[in-house]
Amino acid sequence: MIPTNGLIDFHCHLDLYPDHAAAVREADAAGVFTLAVTTTPKAWARNYELTRDTRHVRAALGLHPQLVSSRADEITLWETLLPQSRYVGEVGLDAGPRFYKSLDQQKDVFARVLRACSRTGGKIITVHSVRATKAVLDHIEEHLSHRTNRVVLHWFTGSRSDAARAIDMGCYFSINGTMLNSEKAAALVRSLPVDRMFTETDGPFTEVDGRLSKPIDVARTLHTLAKLLDLAPTSLANAMRDNLRQVLQDTELR
């Protein structure tokens, strides 16, 4: 297994682990660039407090689509806090059976998120798109300026044509080990360009060896993904670091 220093976990819910502070410390000590997403803007203050002095962990400001039915009114707070964060997430749309009833409300909130990012600029946005890939891409196309904003599609489950459209729009993709356990998903991942890929865990919603996955587990995902792509793990890790540098450069406000 290659060292974890310099690896990337582009989507992880560190505040949902039993010990939030310890999860942040462990990711930082391992040298894994970890994007600590949030599900509600009310979680922002604590996440920011724990990550602001770390070298490798960054907090993202989110309003999860699965919570919109009960927390849509928090979009106003989210908009107020946005200038404090370069990173946005988790946001997006979820048209799964449990959340379909709130889809119209989700679309309204997601549109406000994207329009606010357009006004502010310089945002890196990790996006949820369960059973709603076309709608997510339509919203991004309509409401988001790509001049200084970049989108990373988290746990992408769309079709190859959806992926091609997202690539044309400048989107990136974050890939976790659970995705690679599916033959269909692995085939889709194989078709993605390496210069648009990141690894993620989506911990604690995934597991490794019967325990909650952690940012350090992206090392395992990287090995699996490298084998799928017929690349050396170190070469893939270097490519992903280049991708991160590119996204950071693209979102610099000048």
pLDDT of residue 3: 86
Domain extents in the chain:
8-250
What CATH class is the domain 8-250? alpha beta
Between the CA of residue 93 and those of 62, 160, 201, 226, what are the distances in Å? 12, 19, 19, 30
What is the distance, to the nearest Å, from the Cα of residue 142 to the centroid of all Cα atoms in its chain?
20
pLDDT of residue 87: 98
String of b and e for 83-122 (b: at least 16 CB within 10 Å)?
eebbbbbbbbbbbeeebeebbeebbebbebbbbbbbebeb
pLDDT of residue 21: 98
pLDDT of residue 134: 98
Residue-wise pLDDT tens for the chain (254 aa)? 678 999 999 999 999 999 999 999 999 999 999 999 999 999 999 999 999 999 999 999 999 999 999 999 999 999 999 999 999 999 999 999 999 999 999 999 999 999 999 999 999 999 999 999 999 999 999 999 989 999 999 999 999 999 999 999 999 999 999 999 999 999 999 999 999 999 999 999 999 999 999 999 999 999 999 999 999 999 999 999 999 999 999 999 87
pLDDT of residue 222: 98
Between the CA of residue 10 and those of 5, 14, 35, 116, 176, what are the distances in Å? 14, 12, 5, 22, 10
Q: For the chain, report the end-to-end CA distance as a whole number of angstroms.
A: 39
Tokens representing 212 are 């909650």
Determine if residue 12 is left, alpha or beta; phi over 0 gives left, psi from -120 to 50 gives alpha, anything else beta: beta
pLDDT of residue 1: 66
